[in-house]
Amino acid sequence: MSVENLTAMRNCGAEKVVLEVFNAHPMSTELIKKAGEALASLAQDDQMRENMISAGAVEKIVDAIDVHLEAQDVVAEMCETLCILANSQDACDRLSAKIASLENPRVVIRIIQAISSGSNAEVVADEGQDEYEKDEERLEQLIARHAP
């Protein structure tokens, strides 16, 4: 992306426009995937990444993963974007808070695996169901040990 294009995109608030797709079309797998691709690209810019985080990108991405959990390509894209955003302490704090509010342990497992794997989210998204069930069981045990 050229400096001129990046500056123009930053000036028009492109990241906020892309984030609006999550609000306007939360069930459209294809639109959410394209929005994730756009966010991953825009998040390469420090200022845009901070704008995205402030605009609630982390929370919207986690919600998209929850809704589209069975769509491997969408989840891979969202996880990759989360990995890029997770380089910020604010994003990590938001991600922790959002994960704590999730009810589906499979979503939590996928996100944790993606973050711990870095940007290799496609490998995480393609893992088999058996591995998720094992991880889900371990996560439930961990939650049970730390539950009040």
- In the predicted structure, residue 8 carries a pLDDT above the cut 50: yes
Contact of 12 with 51, CB cutoff 8 Å: no
DSSP the chain: --HHHHHHHHHHTHHHHHHHHHHH-TT-HHHHHHHHHHHHHHTTSHHHHHHHHHTTHHHHHHHHHHHTTT-HHHHHHHHHHHHHHTTSHHHHHHHHHHHHH---HHHHHHHHHHHHTTT-HHHHHT--HHHHHHHHHHHHHHHHHH--
105 vs 9, higher pLDDT: 105
Longest dimension (CA), the chain: 53
Considering only CA atoms, which of 61, 51, 53 is closest in space to residue 13? 51
Task: Name the pLDDT band for 120 (thresholds 50, 70, 90).
Answer: very low
Residues 10-50 have pLDDT tens digits of 777 788 888 888 888 888 888 888 888 888 888 888 888 89
Domain extents in the chain: 3-146
Render pLDDT for 53-100 as a digit per residue (tens, 0 to 9): 999 999 999 999 999 988 888 888 888 888 888 888 898 889 889 988
The model carries a pTM of: 0.71
* Cβ partners under 8 Å of residue 74, min gap 6: 29, 32, 33, 36, 64, 65, 68
Q: If we measure between CA atoms, which residue out of 118, 32, 51, 35 comes closest to residue 90? A: 51
Mean pLDDT for 107-136 is: 61
Looking at residue 43, its pLDDT comes to 86
